[in-house]
Amino acid sequence: MSARLAASVLTCAELGREPLIALLTRYGLTLSWMPPGAEIPGSYWGESEAGLIGDQLFARDDTPVHSALHEACHYICMDAKRRAHLHTDAGGECIEENGVCYLQILLADALPGVGRARMCADMDAWGYSFRLGSARAWFEQDAEDVRAWLLESGLIDRDARPIWRVRQS
């Protein structure tokens, strides 16, 4: 990741803690803010990437918002059995990972000044890879199976709006 691209990605400090706390609380997640330069507990990728242990999402000022949402969506999308033992590696199958990506784009609309377009741009800048070449193209043109999975899992309604609860089975 080039410094120029990383600099263009929205960070948690730029967003502010309160909007993220408000969103996470709706799903039973707690935000634990780490001091600058501190290791982020539960971070699968290390460095500034968000971490996840149980119902706690760990972030710091330089954590990208897309990373915080991605890890939160892992918590939301996994079944209750895996959630009960969650520590760092969310695991899951391909359809669940795609559900995580799709849901993080939807949830971006709940964060002031973020929205779907910014989330997709940040995901592309960070290096997420989709077969249509961009997060937005995938989201708009190639994610019917993912929307169906999210609906069947009880995470979105028929209009693809989040319903603010975690997956149970």
Per-residue model confidence as pLDDT tens digits over 36-75: 999 999 999 889 999 999 999 999 999 999 999 999 999 9
Report yes or no: 154 and 161 within 8 Å, Cβ to Cβ.
no
Report yes or no: 54 and 26 within 8 Å, Cβ to Cβ.
no
Q: Could you count the other beta carbons within 10 Å of the beta carbon of residue 83?
A: 19
What phi-psi label fits residue 102: left (phi over 0), alpha (psi between -120 and 50 degrees) or beta? alpha
Every domain of the chain and the residues it spans: 3-152
Dig out the tokens for 145 from the structure: 């199976």
Dig out the tokens for 84 from the structure: 């009960």
Kindly indicate the confidence band of residue 169, based on its pLDDT and cuts at 50, 70 and 90: confident
pTM beyond 0.85: the answer is: yes
